[in-house]
Homo-oligomer: A and B are copies of this chain.
Amino acid sequence: MPDITETFSAGAPRELALKSAPDLLAWTCPAPLRDQPRVVMGHGGGGAMSAELVQHIFAPAFGGEVLAQLGDAATVSLGGARLAFSTDSFVVRPLFFPGGSIGDLAVNGTVNDLAMSGARAAYLSCGFILEEGVELSVVARVAEALGRAARTAGVEVATGDTKVVEAGHGDGIFINTAGIGLIPAGVDLRPQRVVPGDVVIVSGAIGVHGVAIMSVREGLEFGVEIESDCAALGGLVDTMLSVTPDLHVLRDPTRGGLAAALNEIALASGTGVLIQERSVPVPSAVANACAILGLDPMYVANEGKLVAFVPREHAEAVLAAMRAHPLGAEACVIGEVVSEHPGMVVARTGLGGTRVVDLPIGEQLPRIC
């Protein structure tokens, strides 16, 4: 087994000294076997194994045309209103981490899924599954964080439910939120609208949420604290749509990271995505932590970032509007849509070569949200 401390001493920057030894034996393999009869961690990773589960088990069982859209949120019509409807369960470990908590994630995760279809989240549902024995003061802290995040995002918790399972049959607190919001007239965000020439923009630095969680888990603590970027993106999206409602697609690169988000769009649109690797904003603290841990920042989860596919003629104006918003101050162009290699994401490396950016199989860091 490699000695991580030694690896660090050999070259990693001073501030990344590990405060404590990692418990490598406690790590879980995300995808030990692909064709196996049981659920493995990778099925929850937002990559190819998750997609297989949906494709082979859930979609055939549930049927329905709306589910087949497979976006971050479903678009449905009810009483003449065009609504976005989305759900996410949150099983993050630990419950509190630098820059946020499971309560913040439970709000922002669902609010952002709705925002990716252009909808401003209006109402959330909130289902708690509590493990017998968890301290009520912890439940209260999580609930307060959730309520605060909801007020910040301008969304109302309208309905809820609480279940309790016996000690040893849960893990402290699991939360599910579902959300509904109104999609503005003229907004039609979906990968099928992506065409060669579209400009690919990210709203800021990637990999921050995943590394923040990792930094406080499994005995890993770095000398420098990396805070999660967990935030609600409804306001940023409103700003972008005020420039033009004609954005093509938005995606928040959560589980599976930027690589999974770009691959999903390339596949669903049947176009190629070409990324300039050195344009992808990776903070040095994230890059260094990833180097030590053997992770690729392109695959690390985010929770306060979005990637936008914008028609070329609007790209400059949209980018300027994003940069004027606090959550888009570091927005930048990272690539473009091409007609070559349809369904694939290719990165031009710093040395001028190219590499394929695959859809991840499982998840590098399980239980990241």
A164 within 8 A of B: yes
A133 within 8 A of B: yes
Q: Do B37 and A83 touch (CB < 8 A)?
A: no
B contact residues around A180 at 8 Å (CB): 76, 78, 83, 85, 180
Kindly identify, within residues 157 to 179 of chain A, every residue whose CB is under 8 Å from any CB belonging to chain B. Answer: 157-166, 168-171, 174, 176, 178
Contact (A130, B39) CB under 8 Å given A78-B81, A158-B67: yes
Kindly identify, within residues 33 to 48 of chain A, every residue whose CB is under 8 Å from any CB belonging to chain B. Answer: 36-45
Q: Which residue of B lies closest to A103 (CB)?
A: B61
B contact residues around A58 at 8 Å (CB): 126, 143, 160, 162
Q: Do A163 and B89 touch (CB < 8 A)?
A: yes
Q: Do B37 and A137 touch (CB < 8 A)?
A: yes
Q: How far is the CB of A55 from chain B (nearest CB, A)?
A: 12
Copies of this chain present? 2
Q: Do A158 and B66 touch (CB < 8 A)?
A: yes
CA distance A129 to B126 in the complex (A): 15
A366 within 8 A of B: yes
Q: Which residue of B lies closest to A141 (CB)?
A: B61
CA distance A272 to B238 in the complex (A): 50
Q: How far is the CB of A82 from chain B (nearest CB, A)?
A: 7
Number of interface residues of A (CB under 8 A): 85
B contact residues around A76 at 8 Å (CB): 122-123, 158, 180
A16 within 8 A of B: no
Q: Do A37 and B80 touch (CB < 8 A)?
A: no
Q: How far is the CB of A119 from chain B (nearest CB, A)?
A: 10
CA distance A171 to B139 in the complex (A): 20
Task: Choose the segment among A145-153, A259-267, A280-288, A323-331 that binds chain B (4+ C-beta atoms closer than 8 Å).
Answer: A145-153
Q: How far is the CB of A295 from chain B (nearest CB, A)?
A: 19
Q: Do A85 and B37 touch (CB < 8 A)?
A: no
B contact residues around A43 at 8 Å (CB): 130, 162, 164
CA distance A76 to B159 in the complex (A): 10
CA distance A82 to B81 in the complex (A): 10
A367 within 8 A of B: yes
Q: Do A85 and B164 touch (CB < 8 A)?
A: no
B contact residues around A44 at 8 Å (CB): 130, 162-165
Contact (A73, B159) CB under 8 Å given A123-B85, A129-B91: yes
Leading 3 A-B pairs by shortest Cβ distance: A79-B81, A44-B164, A178-B178
Q: List 11 A-B contacts (CB under 8 A).
A: A39-B164, A44-B163, A57-B139, A58-B162, A62-B147, A63-B151, A74-B123, A85-B180, A87-B159, A127-B176, A165-B367
Which residues does A use to contact B, with CB under 8 Å?
28, 36-45, 50, 53-54, 57-58, 61-67, 73-74, 76, 78-83, 85-91, 122-123, 125-137, 139-140, 143-144, 146-147, 150-151, 156-166, 168-171, 174, 176, 178, 180-182, 366-367
